[in-house]
Amino acid sequence: MEEIRFHYIVLLSWIRKYRSPSAAMTDNEDNSGRFLVLEKLFKIAGTPVAPEGGSLFYRVYRPVVVLCGYLTFLTTFIGIVKNQHDMDYVMEAARPGFVMINLLWMHFFIRYSLIVS
């Protein structure tokens, strides 16, 4: 119980720190840490917001993780079409399918925007 209370206090202090008006960024401050979490999540998803050279492993990882995401959606869709008679399976597959639809169209347009610009 003490451990949960400790994590709760740390979380509350973090929220207060970053939501307070004094923590707002000014024009002359360094913004490098402002979007650090989002930058890390995009990098993990294979679409870095600020592309850099990276290692050979990461250059191989990026297309593989994107391909896996699109193929997972495709196989989910094929599974739904093949098993239309089994409504339980269709409902199980449709739930993550809707989430994947939302993620994939955003990923596609963010990736297209990074390529074009």
Residues with Cβ within 8 Å of residue 66, at least 6 apart in sequence: 46, 47, 107, 111
Q: Domains of the chain: which residue ranges?
A: 39-117
Q: Residue 37 pLDDT more than 60?
A: yes
pLDDT at 27: 46
The predicted model gives 18-45 an average pLDDT of 62
Cα–Cα distance between 37 and 79 in angstroms, integer? 34
Q: What span, in angstroms and rounded, lies between the C-alpha atoms of 69 and 44?
A: 12
Q: Angle between the 87-116 and 56-82 helix axes, to the nearest 10 degrees? A: 140
**Is the predicted pLDDT of residue 113 greater than 80, yes or no?**
no
Mean pLDDT, to the nearest integer, of 18-36? Answer: 55
For the chain, percent of residues with pLDDT exceeding 90: 16
Confidence label for 28 from pLDDT (cuts 50, 70 and 90): very low
Q: Does the pLDDT value for residue 82 go beyond 90? A: yes
Burial class of residue 4, CB neighbours in 10 A (0-12, 13-18, 19+): exposed
DSSP string, 25-58: PPTTS--TTTTHHHHHHHHHTT--SS-----HHH
Stretch among 12-26, 27-41, 54-68, 74-88 having the lowest mean pLDDT: 12-26
